[in-house]
Amino acid sequence: MMVRLVILAELVAIAAAFAMPESLQGWVLMSLVLATAALMVAIFLPPSSLGLARLLRPSLVAVLAAPALWMALQAVPMPIGKLGNPIWATASATLNEPLAEKITVDTTATMFSLVQYCAVLAAALIAAAIALDRYRAAQLLHILLSIATIVTAMWFGREIAGVAGPDGSPIAVLGVLLSCATAIRAVDQVLRRSRPRTIALSPLPALSAAIIAMIICMAALLIRANSTAVVAALLGSEILLSVFAVRRWFPGLWGTAGVLATATIIFIATATVIPFRTNTDLTIVLSTSSQAATERMLQDVAPVGSGAGASTVLLPIFQDAGVGDSPERPTAAATIVIDMGWAFLCALVVAALLCASILIRRALSRTYDYVFPALGAGALIAVTILAFSDHGILGLGASLLIAALFGLAFGQSLSGAERDAISSETKATSDQIANQAPAPRRRLTSASVTIWPRVSLMVLGIVLIVQAAWMALPDRYFGARSSLPSVLSTAAAGPNAMSKTVSLAAAREDLWIRGGPSFTRDSALAADEQRTAPPMTSDEFARALRSSPLRGDIWLLLAATSKHSSPQPSTAAMLRMSYYTAPNDLDLLPLRVSVALAADAMVRDTDLRELIKRDVSLVVRHRPALKPALVTAYRSASADGKIYLEGLISELDPAFLDQVHARSSRMGSR
């Protein structure tokens, strides 16, 4: 019964990640469900279960905990100032208060990345615990195949209908591998059914389902015309088929060597079909989309990275103006380098290749159930290729599905592991078909055997609960997140009208920034909360910047709210930070121009004059739809501001200057 609940929890967590990837409720539900499952496995793990202890050794626990510790280290103050990112010193000088320097440029973004990694780790360990039983492993394989097929079919439908959405290529690739593994397992059962004393259900339904899933996933990849994803799926499937051929028809050293040599030749030949980009960074060499901003970020990245989740925060600074409708997506490899550093990516690639070789070796040493470790090896190769072509494998749903697949592969990678965690209702049957493995030379006591798995899973479950509370409590106290672009547009209509809506939106942005998911709730509820919420002050905007100093929108709102209460040099410094941290965000342009032209002191600032000129030129020449914002800014501008704006417009578009005067006169007469 406990195992069924754990399997259900794994299914609910993955489904929630796919169904609500940008919902706060989805993240909280996922964390709580995985935490409950981890604690259940830790508490109710049978003392006689040696399989998980064989897999989860102290050395492996340290390796798995290393990325989480590195993310946590990025978010804590550095004892030596030079180790931190320079943005903290700049923000400290602008806010005129001491700020501790950190490696990450955005603490909240790093914390969200830590939440996702802990969830992925929990999903993998729970799947490994489930997969110790061969029958539970088969059930988990079918569940993962169903999820991948359904998600791929939905993505396929959106592609046909022309509806924008996240790229489902990684899920389709996993669907191909899962269907191939299911089909091989079914064929292997058919070939073994004639043997006496073998008890197995009819494999034909599983084989039929695998064929249907294979057709759906391959059709989605081919119609999408993603050649890299197709090659990744073929190479991963090749590993599965090679292991199957060795186990069924070419046993022995020479047969294995022949099959592996043939597979290597086919592997290299297939890899040459992948379209490689030339004269570009290695991390984006397989990407088919524009990566101009990513290349600029990679040139500026520090050896220790900019903090987990920082790539999403840094992208608006490096991307070109006016690309908000189709933002650039760095590849997963480029994202890892920007966030964690080059050394971290190299370690991941080496670890992936080592794990793939270990799984292949274990698959070749198995008599039965070799499909599971072979599936893990194929998925490792496919995922590594996909990491250099797109961003999809880092998505919440995709990462959980990949983690469950790897947990399944490693859970069934050791010969005889399933007999150590056999369930009571299947013990009699399993004893008849389990692999014959020699007993270990030395028996460990149950306490020493299960101490590391129990402690690791219990700590992970507690961490997930704490993280869920961290995400849920701000939602309760601050209410809904307003759409900041619409708030800024409203604020630009009158620079002096910094309403409750603006204050609430900025406070909400402090908690759920671009580095994390974009959380939304019912608009009616949001409006009601905005009417009842108390107005917030510039101190609360400053509090947001203490964790996210690259927030150009918050710098702008702080400058707008503090220009009457703070000295003009302080307001100019805040406005300058808004320009530097969000130079190409067109949503900020209306309010930013209004604030910049509202005071003579800011208009006389040499640096600000050049920045204002850039914004005005961008509007007049490339974004005529934003011209009404210049009219509004002209009406509220100071005397010097009006003169400077008139001079800029007369140089760029003299005819528009007459319209500015006419519209301003009509609006003033009302």
pLDDT in tens, 515-564: 344 444 333 333 344 444 444 556 667 777 888 888 888 888 888 876 65
What does the chain come to in residues? 670
CB 324 within 8 A of CB 586: yes
Residue 225's pLDDT band (boundaries 50, 70, 90)?
low
pLDDT for the residue numbered 474: 61
The encoded tokens of residue 373 equal: 């470790």
> Any alpha helices (H) in 412-551, and if so which ranges?
417-420, 427-433, 446-478, 484-492, 500-511, 523-532, 538-545
pLDDT for the residue numbered 124: 93
pLDDT for the residue numbered 15: 84
**Which range is most confident: 413-417, 464-468, 470-474, 593-597?**
464-468
Q: Give mean pLDDT, residues 447-467.
A: 81
Q: Give mean pLDDT, residues 623-650.
A: 83
Torsion on CA atoms 7, 11, 14, 15, rounded to nearest 10: -170
Q: Is the pLDDT of residue 488 over 50?
A: no
The encoded tokens of residue 517 equal: 């998911």
d(CA 112, CA 122): 15
Q: Give mean pLDDT, residues 428-438.
A: 43
Question: For 94-102, which contacts have Cβ atoms below 8 Å and span 24 or more sequence positions?
Answer: 94/555, 94/570, 94/573, 94/574, 94/576, 94/577, 95/542, 95/545, 95/546, 96/570, 97/542, 99/546, 99/549, 101/77, 102/74, 102/75, 102/76, 102/77, 102/78, 102/307
pLDDT for the residue numbered 269: 66
d(CA 57, CA 38): 17
Q: Is 416 left (phi over 0), alpha (psi -120 to 50) or beta?
A: left
Kindly report the average pLDDT of the chain as a whole number. Answer: 77
d(CA 543, CA 294): 29
- This prediction has a pTM of 0.83
Residue 255's pLDDT band (boundaries 50, 70, 90)?
low
Comparing 597 with 182, which gets the higher pLDDT?
182
Question: What is the per-residue pLDDT across 189-204, written as a single tens digit (0 to 9) for each?
Answer: 887 765 544 444 567 8
**Residues sharing a CB contact under 8 Å with residue 438, sequence separation 6 or more, in sequence order:** none
Straight-line distance from the first to the last Cα atom of the chain, in angstroms, rounded to the nearest whole number: 73
pLDDT for the residue numbered 528: 45
Residue 600's pLDDT band (boundaries 50, 70, 90)?
confident
pLDDT for the residue numbered 14: 86
CB 553 within 8 A of CB 488: yes
Residue 500's pLDDT band (boundaries 50, 70, 90)?
very low
The encoded tokens of residue 234 equal: 């073929």
Per-residue exposure over 468-481, b if at least 16 CB sit within 10 Å of its own CB, e if not = beebbebbeebbbb
C-alpha closest to that of 553 among 494, 480, 491, 496: 491
Place of tokens 């999809």: 392
Give the three-state DSSP class for 106. coil
CB 274 within 8 A of CB 233: no
Q: Is the pLDDT of residue 245 over 50?
A: yes
Residue 657's pLDDT band (boundaries 50, 70, 90)?
confident
C-alpha closest to that of 467 among 113, 65, 23, 10: 113
Question: What is the per-residue pLDDT across 460-481, written as a single tens digit (0 to 9) for each?
Answer: 999 999 998 888 876 544 433 3
